[in-house]
Structure 1
Amino acid sequence: MEAISEARRHIDNAKGFLSNNARKEDGLYQDKKYVKIAGHTAYTGILLALDELLGEKKKKTRKSVEWYQKELSGLDKKITSDFATAYQILHLDMGYEGTRSAQIAKLGIDNAEKIINWVENRLTPHSK
């Protein structure tokens, strides 16, 4: 499960950008540049894991967030909600806006880890 390992590496890198470079003071990150990098990195980690589970789209085009939501909604409504939250926080709030809130960033990273763990569980054969 190389994709899961790679997804986790992305999450670890995102955490590193936040803890080593974004300079947290009083619950706020001081350097938006590294918040943005961390958000994009963590979101990419989620997509790596989901692509392993969901497979490739028929066309060789970039998949939209709507495509992921549609595919996930047929599998698990809770994880679909977690994905929507992770997309909002990691991709939009952190990745584009560079939100400074450490609490929001933690929620996004936690959701990313939850999604990756869920994917790993779905990919791992379980004996009865």
Structure 2
Amino acid sequence: MSKKSMENPLSPSAEAARYLENARQILTEKAGKKDGLYSDIKYVRMAAGTAYSAALLILDEYLKQKEGIHFVKPQSIEDYKGRLRKYDKKLLKHTINAYSELHLIGYYQGTESAEVIQNGLANVKQMLSYI
């Protein structure tokens, strides 16, 4: 851990927002968008992974707030979904969409579609309001 991060740790929401902004920067500066398609899949995958990491940070913090001392970090998307079903169906919907658009389509499949990635980023932004 760097000296700066030890002196001034970010709140979970600020850290997730930082990840989301980093993903946007990667897309803007390196992925090369033309006619609604990204030209460099490497950077799309990188940005999608970064944005999905923000979603996981948000979900972990949300579940910590709901479950308190009983919180145990989920080990799979199915675990996240099952636990979110108990608390908030709208957050569950954003989670499923972010998982599909960013993790599966963006990161694993490496989509060129700017619309899919932008939808994923919008879902993570909505999720941020929960913490």
Per-residue deviation, 1:53: 1.9
1:79 has 2:91 as partner: yes
Instruction: Tell me which residue corresponds to 1:124.
Output: none
Partner Cα separation in structure 2 for residue 13 and residue 63 of structure 1: 25
The list of structure 1 runs, each at least 4 consecutive aligned residues, that deviate by more than 6 angstroms after superposition, is none
Larger proportion of helix:
2
Instruction: Tell me which residue corresponds to 2:16.
Output: 7
Q: Which runs of 5+ in 2 are unaligned?
A: 1-9, 65-70
Per-residue deviation, 1:105: 0.8
Residues 54-87 of structure 1, C-alpha deviations (whole Å, 9 max, x = no match):
13417xxx62001110111111112111110110
Instruction: Tell me which residue corresponds to 2:67.
Output: none
Residues 27-51 of structure 1, C-alpha deviations (whole Å, 9 max, x = no match):
1000000000011100100111111
- Percent identity for Structure 1 against Structure 2: 40
Q: Quick one: which amino acid aligns to residue 113 of structure 1?
A: K
5 Å-filtered alignment, 1:1-128, equals 2-55=11-64, 56-57=71-72, 63-117=75-129, 119-120=130-131
Partner Cα separation in structure 1 for residue 97 and residue 57 of structure 2: 17
TM-score for the superposition, normalised by structure 2: 0.84
Q: Quick one: which amino acid aligns to residue 40 of structure 1?
A: G
Q: How many pairs were matched up?
A: 116
Q: Quick one: which amino acid aligns to residue 61 of structure 2?
A: E
Q: Which runs of 5+ in 1 are unaligned?
A: 121-128
Per-residue deviation, 1:100: 0.5
Instruction: Tell me which residue corresponds to 2:7.
Output: none
Partner Cα separation in structure 2 for residue 54 and residue 76 of structure 1: 11
